[in-house]
């Protein structure tokens, strides 16, 4: 899985799954642009990636891609990429009847429109050059809508639709567009979510098992997925080895989605 000579941009890559993806792509030889809202967080993430991959070629891509102005500044600083990983996303539990119009809009703006906007910016160049990879980090929540955060589930379902649609736009050009359905994954944000759901009086391993047993019983893995396991799929889809995989929703969900196809 050699990505030498390729430039990759991973949005929201200062922590969690995004940071793990950046490490994985750097290990595969890609020049990786680390994205976050502040220079301090981006610099910290660059140091972490370099600690894992000392020879990594890394680029600071500071910018808030949830609005047009921030996206335009980022694209001006990084006008061409070969691999775009739309990882940025927010989540959080909220009773269905208490989700306001503003909340609905915010989840769509951050989780969906930021990815669509960057795809519009970078996909044409990939198509002209005859090679490229666009990926959307979706979620099992796109298929199994969680009752405690249907606005999040809606946004991830929309990413599956956007991914399939842009794959059709790139048909026959040598560019692939795919989404990755990530299952319940062990990140800092999820640790807090698990604690909120099962309480603070349990050791982490026990709390994790209780959460999976009570709130995600469909999982065949019966544990949270590690970010590196999501990154492995992303790196494969970004590589030349995945040249015939496009328009797909690749599952790294620990068997959570109870279906043969997503």
Catalytic machinery residues = 152
Instruction: Assess contact for 17 and 40: CB atoms under 8 A.
Output: no
- Tokens linked to 167: 């794959």
Task: Report the distance separating Cα 39 and Cα 7, nearest Å.
Answer: 20
Instruction: Assess contact for 166 and 119: CB atoms under 8 A.
Output: yes
Pairing of strands 83-86, 57-62: unpaired
Q: Which residues contact 151 (CB under 8 A, 6 or more apart)?
A: 94, 99, 103, 104, 107
Find tokens 């698990």 and name the residue: 194
Q: Which residue, among 18, 16, 21, 249, has the nearest Cα to 143 in the 3D structure?
A: 249
């Amino acid at each position: 899985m050699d990505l030498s000579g390729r430039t990759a941009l991973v949005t929201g890559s200062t922590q969690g799954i995004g940071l793990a993806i950046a490490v994985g792509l750097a290990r595969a030889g890609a020049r990786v642009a680390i994205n976050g809202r502040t220079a301090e967080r981006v610099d910290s993430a660059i140091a972490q990636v370099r600690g894992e991959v000392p020879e990594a070629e890394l680029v600071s891509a500071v910018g808030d891609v949830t609005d047009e102005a921030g996206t335009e500044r980022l694209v001006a600083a990084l006008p061409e990429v070969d691999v775009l990983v739309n990882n940025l996303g927010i989540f959080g539990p909220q009773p269905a009847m208490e989700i306001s119009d503003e909340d609905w809009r915010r989840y769509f703006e951050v989780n969906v429109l930021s990815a669509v906007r960057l795809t519009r910016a970078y996909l044409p160049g990939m198509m002209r050059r005859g090679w490229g990879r666009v990926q959307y980090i979706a979620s099992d929540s796109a298929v199994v809508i969680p009752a405690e955060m249907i606005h999040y589930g809606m946004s991830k379902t929309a990413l599956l639709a956007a991914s399939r649609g842009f794959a059709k736009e790139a048909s026959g050009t040598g560019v692939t567009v795919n989404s990755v359905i990530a299952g319940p994954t062990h990140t800092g944000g999820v640790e807090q979510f698990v604690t909120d759901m099962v309480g603070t009086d349990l050791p982490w391993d026990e709390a994790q098992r209780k959460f999976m047993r009570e709130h995600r019983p469909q999982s065949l893995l019966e544990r949270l997925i590690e970010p590196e396991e999501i990154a492995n799929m992303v790196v494969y889809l970004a590589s030349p080895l995945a040249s015939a995989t496009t328009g797909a929703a690749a599952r790294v969900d620990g068997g959570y989605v109870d279906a043969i196809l997503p």
